[in-house]
Amino acid sequence: MRQGNVTERKAGPPEVGVSVIIFALAPSPNPSQNAKTRRDELWLPLVRRVREPYKGMWALPGGDVQAGRSLESSAYDALESTTNLRPGYLEQLYTFGDPDRSGSGLPMVSIVYWALIGSAEADDLRDGDNVRWFAESALPDLAFDHSVIVRYALDRLRSKMSYPDVASKLVGPRFTLRRLHDVYEAIAGRTFDLGNFRRKMLASGQLEETGEKLVEGRHRPAAVYRYTSEVMTAGSEVWRPWGSQFKPPADHGRSERGAAGDDVLSALTTD
């Protein structure tokens, strides 16, 4: 903690910390009575703050940058200390440093990391001490500018939703077309026709059958697919940190998905 009175601290260099946003896939908290319209949703863990500023409000997991530790290591430490999660990778998303973001007028910079994980990695999305999982559609008011950070991450995710690397992080290496459809709907935040999705994906040349079958609920056994090795290799070349060429939303309203996400949806929903 930097020493000095408030005036001196406002004039000094900013405090630097890390924040982490984790998306996992799980059933919606308000499932429809009609099973045909039920869909999964993106969830993320939040931590209730125990000190000022914003004491008692929910925030993304985070912490200070530790001396002798890399930024990524500091992000992992902050995540593990609050959620016990340690995903296989973290990507640097963006650096947020608006002068008013701290709520106290003190300069504060947050380097944000993020990851996508399957629900199994999240231990069935169990809540912990001072930690709770929230559906993206039911987020509480967040401390600092964390609502802006969440929307920024969602925009970037939706702009990359057609990349196999993105879907496979949530659905796993093997999946049915129905399950892949659920992932696309969760990322898009809307529903679209399963039959049309199935036709488009099979015609894309991205998938191959594994020869396995899987029973899903009361449906007949469904074929299990995976992305081809060629598609996954190409996808890994574009799944990288998005960096400063993207600007975060300037306002605090819900932002719309990017043009790239719209293009993907158009391709999947057009006959």
Burial class from Cβ neighbours inside 10 Å (0-12, 13-18, 19+) for residue 222 reads: middle
More confident residue, 51 or 243: 51
Among the listed residues 88, 96, 36, the one whose alpha carbon sits nearest the alpha carbon of residue 60: 96
Are residues 61 and 74 in contact, defined by beta-carbon separation less than 8 angstroms? Answer: no
- Say yes or no to pLDDT of 240 above 70: no
- Per-residue pLDDT band at 245 (split at 50, 70, 90): very low
Please indicate, yes or no, whether the overall pTM of this predicted structure exceeds 0.85: no
The DSSP string of 76-116 is: HHHHHHHH----S--EEEEEE--TTTTSSS--EEEEEEEEE
The confidence score (pLDDT) of residue 138 equals: 94
The confidence score (pLDDT) of residue 44 equals: 95
The confidence score (pLDDT) of residue 6 equals: 52
Give the domains, in start order, of the chain with CATH numbers: 1-145 (3.90.79.10), 161-238 (1.10.10.10)
Among the listed residues 186, 170, 69, the one whose alpha carbon sits nearest the alpha carbon of residue 121: 170
- Say yes or no to pLDDT of 11 above 60: no
- Per-residue pLDDT band at 99 (split at 50, 70, 90): confident
Task: Give the C-alpha separation, 232 to 248, whole Å.
Answer: 29
pLDDT tens-digit map of 198-219:
999 999 899 999 999 998 777 7
Q: What is the mean pLDDT of the chain?
A: 80
Bridge-partner residues for 91, per DSSP? 114
Are residues 71 and 111 in contact, defined by beta-carbon separation less than 8 angstroms? Answer: yes
Taking residues 162-185, what's their average pLDDT? 90
Are residues 15 and 104 in contact, defined by beta-carbon separation less than 8 angstroms? Answer: no
- Say yes or no to pLDDT of 114 above 90: yes
